[in-house]
Amino acid sequence: MSDELDRQIDRARTEGMILAKLDTIEAKLDKAFGELSKLEERVNTLETWRYKLIGASAVIATLAGVLSRLVIKA
């Protein structure tokens, strides 16, 4: 009977240790996902700026073309 009780106690300790390790892993994953979310927001912001710069460069190129034609005609 004592051996069975000892096995149950050992099993409970092992399960407790496993659950504690799983909790630690879960906390680390939550932290990592939080960091990834922040990085994703930064990437989205940079992509938005990239598209704005592309649009602005297209406008500048168009204006430069128009001005060069005006200068050539003058």
pLDDT per position as a tens digit, 32-55: 999 999 999 999 999 999 999 999
What percentage of residues in the chain have a pLDDT greater than 70? 97
Quote the tokens at residue 70. 């005006």
Per-residue pLDDT reduced to its tens digit, 18-38: 999 999 999 999 999 999 999
pLDDT of residue 72: 85
DSSP string, 11-23: HHHHHHHHHHHHH
Tell me what pLDDT residue 23 has.
97
